[in-house]
Amino acid sequence: MMIDRNVLKERANRWMNKEQASADAMKHREGAVNIAVLSDTHGMLRREVVAEIRDCTHIIHAGDIVKETDLDELRLYGLIYAVRGNNDLWQPGLRDLAGILRFQIAGVSFLVTHDRYDVPRDLDGVQAVIFGHSHRYSEEWTDGRLWLNPGSCGYARFGGDVTIAKMKVQDGKILNVRRIDFD
């Protein structure tokens, strides 16, 4: 069956509608914004992860989604910012996602990519760098910038835990970051 590439691009772009993102950011300007940060679902969107992120208005996915229906479901709960991972390159509808995204939520500047080695040198103005790939949670503050890998919330691999991160941001500041573990 032949699939029209324009249809696939349209589906990929619907997860990051810039006009909607801008309007949504303005709406939350005065209050704190809850953000779920996920990576490496690998086609296994766990029910307990979905339950945990329902209080978040924004969801960042750092790639290796594998099933585009997972993004469709996540979109029910918040605005999606998603990049493709190395396992998404073979998936129609996901391979057209950007490899790197830069955006702001509540005045906080983010850069998201799947692999930490793909982070560009120019991080001027970036307050939070989000990445995945290793399946291991890490949270570092370097020179006032957050470097966050939420780990894997799909399959536990490489001896790692099943984790996500949740953040709260407001008025250009990262108020907190929490690691959430699952069984």
Q: Which two tokens stand for residue 81?
A: 């910012």
Task: Kindly report the average pLDDT of the chain as a whole number.
Answer: 87
pLDDT in tens, 21-73: 544 444 444 599 999 999 999 999 999 999 999 999 999 999 999 999 999 99
pLDDT in tens, 114-145: 999 999 999 999 999 999 999 999 999 999 99
Residue 40 · residue 154 · CB < 8 Å: yes
Considering only CA atoms, which of 55, 60, 117, 50 is closest in space to residue 86?
117
Provide the whole-model pTM. Answer: 0.85
Q: What pLDDT sits at residue 10?
A: 53
Question: What is d(CA 19, CA 167) in angstroms, rounded to the nearest whole number?
Answer: 23
What band does 157 get if pLDDT is binned at 50, 70 and 90? confident
- Of all residues in the chain, the percent with pLDDT exceeding 90 is 78
pLDDT at 93 over 80: yes
Domain annotation for the chain: domains and CATH numbers = 5-182 (3.60.21.10)
User: ∠ CA 150-38-65 to the nearest 5 degrees?
Assistant: 125
Question: Is the pLDDT assigned to residue 14 strictly greater than 80?
Answer: no
pLDDT of the residue at 155 = 80
In the structure, what pLDDT confidence band is assigned to residue 78 with cuts at 50, 70 and 90?
very high
